[in-house]
A and B are shown apart, each in its own frame.
Chain A
């Protein structure tokens, strides 16, 4: 089952339309097309990280500089970044916008993703990180803009979970 090029493009276009100019990313298979589109855009800066924690610091610096940013990671990357989400994002009130590939849920054939898929939403709730699920192109832009507005207004980390239905071809 291939990754949806059309929805990856829509996601990229929405990220750009929201004024996001610095994106930190660590790829996994669902995210390769959208990260490639960002890399090819001369108006955007893509920071290719070695570990997802770095993205929280990069977004904090971008925010201080007055530049809209986001990080794009798989949900196991979100797990890896929990300490800085709390000890930088929440402690220092950083409007961190996280796009998280929601692996390990219904439709995912790879069993190694399942434990991370099962704990992603409970952890977001425990951390009090507001989140929405992106599962259809029709609601994508509205939800991304909503997440950005809440993050900027409340100075909070927020998450958007990219679901199988959105990221993969039917």
Chain B
């Protein structure tokens, strides 16, 4: 399963959510499908997309927040799972694209290539809904059900180790940051 196919399968639903991605392939591929003001791409600080999503979800409890994480990033901050589980915001969907590789940093294998099980780690950390998907239909169904569940979900999508040929896009980091913050605050004023 290609990560890009997963993103395309749920792209219409992302319009209604606040979306936080990690750096690398996820950021490039989501922008390739079409940037929106409700998408924020955390282009550094590996591991903290889920922490940022948690802060957003607690600050805007009426909004649905989707974090698009990766195996390398999550492995750098496994404590985020137990922290999210302790707060357990009902409006947070945590997707992990597991390609078993630090792809954008030179394509070296991560611990999931050696058998680390992120769905199992999420469940054992107290995440109330921890699920996996191995094909696009499964992924789409699991994502839609997570959006409607009203319960913190970690969805691990097992994807191929492949990605774009370049990691830079023409969207400035601060342009993205200020546009996203302005979008979030417009939701409060409404």
Residues of A within 8 A of B (CB): 22, 24, 45, 47-51, 53-67, 69, 83-84, 87-88, 91-93
Q: How far is the CA of A59 from the CA of B82 in the complex (A)?
A: 18
Are A84 and B45 interface neighbours, CB within 8 A? yes
Q: How far is the CA of A91 from the CA of B177 in the complex (A)?
A: 10
Are B55 and A48 interface neighbours, CB within 8 A? no
Are B79 and A93 interface neighbours, CB within 8 A? no
Contact of A54 among B42, B77, B177 (CB under 8 A): B77
Given the interface pairs A54-B48, A66-B188, the reply to whether A61 lies near B57 with Cβ below 8 Å is yes
Is B47 part of the binding interface, using a Cβ–Cβ cutoff of 8 Å? yes
Q: Render B108-152 as a binary contact track against A, CB cut-off 8 A, 1 for contact.
A: 000000000000000000000000000000000000000000000
Q: Is the interface of B mostly helix, strand, loop or mixed?
A: helix
Name the distance in Å between A57's Cβ and chain B's nearest Cβ: 3
Report the interface size class on chain B: 35 or more
Name the distance in Å between A153's Cβ and chain B's nearest Cβ: 15
Chain B residues, CB < 8 A from A24: 55
Is B105 part of the binding interface, using a Cβ–Cβ cutoff of 8 Å? no
Are B58 and A22 interface neighbours, CB within 8 A? yes
